[in-house]
Amino acid sequence: MKNKTVYIASDHAGFKLKSQLLKKFPKITDLGTKSDESVDYPDFAHKLTKEILKSKNNFGILICGTGVGMSITANRRKGIRAGIANNSKIATLIRKHNDANVLVLPGRFISTNEAKKSVQTFLSTKFESGRHKRRIDKI
């Protein structure tokens, strides 16, 4: 996570997993939610993407039940490339090939251990550029 600012946010369905990830990665900045009480996931996706766009060194992690709602919301914002990963292999590829700046985790469909591996992989993997940059530029 050197030279990166990393933010995390979740809705109520992702709160438990987010809490576990913050224990493993205490330098990640938590943007909420602060409990498992029902909230609207777009509020937290918007809050996180606003922070991500402040610097190219900012990265984010969003968590909701399936990952789909957070992903749809995040990707509506120009400059955000959010990808859902339910394992560390996908987390690697969304960084290498898609230059994702937001990792989206399906809180109800990923184990805590796999989520930890996915976050570690996402944060330590670099974009390969080359042919992938040409594709990113077409988005």
Q: Tell me which of 12, 46, 64, 132 is the catalytic residue.
A: 64
Q: What pLDDT was estimated at residue 4? A: 86
pLDDT (tens digit per residue) in 39-88: 999 999 999 999 999 999 999 999 999 999 999 999 999 999 999 999 99
Q: Under CATH, what is the fold of the domain 5-137?
A: Ribose 5-phosphate Isomerase B; Chain: A, (3.40.1400)
What average pLDDT does this structure show over 18-23? 98
Instruction: Indicate if 97 belongs to the active site.
Output: yes
Instruction: Indicate if 46 belongs to the active site.
Output: no
Q: How far apart are CA 114 and CA 119, in angstroms?
A: 9
Q: How far apart are CA 15 and CA 118, in angstroms?
A: 17
Q: How far apart are CA 5 and CA 94, in angstroms?
A: 18
Is residue 133 over pLDDT 90?
A: no
Q: Tell me which of 12, 46, 97, 132 is the catalytic residue.
A: 97
Q: Would you list the domain boundaries of the chain?
A: 5-137
